[in-house]
Structure 1
């Protein structure tokens, strides 16, 4: 047995000189376009490292055989979603500093948010029969950074607007649907599909400047397809009764109208919920009598609501006529609308209404000295504040409301209103 001194290599790791990654926080690129990404590593030039580049919705290409950089053999899984490169810091930085050294490209037809992740580890694969000091440095601590990538659509998908509120109808009755529009930044023609799950759709074909019947496929069925110019499609769908929904015979429950637009490349889908109520079997009279002996017919009650809906623009826009408000309303309903007028005057706001439609529903009854009537109101509302449209409170709405009327000062006035759907 040979005797002699025991030799052991001790490697001292300087923890005060950590690895750092230099890279942008975010970058933007068009769909289907290459994006060069600048990356560099701060560490000792002789230090060996492993760099892993990853992405969720695209591929990464690292330039090969850069002079004095890393070799092709030191690049694994190039032009995939996860690429690994290894070498000394000097070799890695030489490669990364070259023109178009790292290229990101989103997947075909992808647009939206993505991210490139960079992870750097110290490469200790060549260190054998040695002791690393201090002991806590035996496990290499990876350093990472993420670059947010925004991929802008080269051809944005069509935009569909649908009614903002749920729709309600009764079984075996027709429901007019308005407020559906389509737009597309880059295309003048689209294919629009309207589909109901538990009913059929009826589309008018004689609309001025609308689609001809030859461009409307499978009308009066569960799935209707419109093909042609966006302008003519929107003209066909304009109005509250150009598109009619009718549930299947004796069906009640939940249904959905699915609206899909395709421009030949991109597709957008929106859904509108429809509630189909059991057909009311109540004996609803044409007039009612309050506890104080007053009577009112249903047409007169509905007409009172209709007049308020049509006249309220004079209250919620200049000249902000509160006399009209007092003529139609009372109680908490009057107090709340006075508050709305105060807000509009203070901030220079005005509501404008068009495409107004008022439709009586079946419920009409008495509670004490008050009269209750259900009325469906559809309207296109626009709020302007200081001349600018407030899009959060602008749009087409259609809802069934339960109105409460109370007789005061010789007039039937609105004391309350609650949205039912």
Structure 2
């Protein structure tokens, strides 16, 4: 049964199920031995049986009968089920009417649709996620905005699409929603980064805290891992980029420690071999992936031969090569030739222009390009071979796909 159908089912059982329950009650009153054996199981035994189901199948079982509905509506029981590890797609346009969210389940190779119609906002734009919680920009002002009005304050909304619940964070100016990068923290915390400042929200607070970044340049592809923010900054010149890795504890924003570079002499020219690198979280909690075009030389206009994925172990501070895009896949993104074409294409494949995007996390990286319609290139850190195509991308025919990792489940509520 499709997940979107399961999530649209109300708590009340369908008419057919209700009639079946009435017949079961009649049979049970007349002849107790005629009751299905599963109805005679104690709650602990029933939870033991249902607890062996994946979350997707558990949700599909909820509308079967009243017994299953009651057993599968217990928050502690649902929170104990492993979440769905999904890739959620963002709409190509920053603000749009999005009644649902398309998501890909890598474990089963299937596309799902998570309804967002329970949100009472005229438009919303999902941007990132933490375990079980989806973060969206939404216009929450009571007065309707006029066409082209970009001055209305917007708010970040936290929601659990499986539980159909949401919470609105304090509103922010439109500049933060248009230019800020949102990072999802643990337990509903949020961080919004711009070129010069950061806003932080922690659960239990009723306001945003503002901090100066004090970084040498605009943070590129910041990520939040283990209570710390990691980002790349360009410390080079207008004629030649030179990337450096910086980090700051989430609780150290604005403090005396602040941002500090992460560097070792043994790294050598690791940041110089990649064109337009970006960061993504690796598998586990102590690995950072850096993705970019592999330069053929150190010349400024040197073409790239493929896309390279490097991995940093935060425990040992050692880099290693984690993946390299196959030539036939790289050619689909415009690379593999000689001359100016590969330069532009590799910059695209490394996230260097507006037509190609690199996104993911949790040890998975996806690549999308406007000219590669209906499919994504995918690399998985812990899979044999690592690279494959994901076909059947639904929905968005305009623009290029973007996305983020979303662990859908019941482990957290807004």
The TM tier, using the shorter chain, reads under 0.3
Greater relative CO, 1 or 2 (CA 8 Å, sep 6+): 2
Bigger strand share: 1
| TM-score, normalised relative to structure 1 | 0.26
| Higher Rg | 1
TM-score scaled to structure 2, two decimals? Answer: 0.26
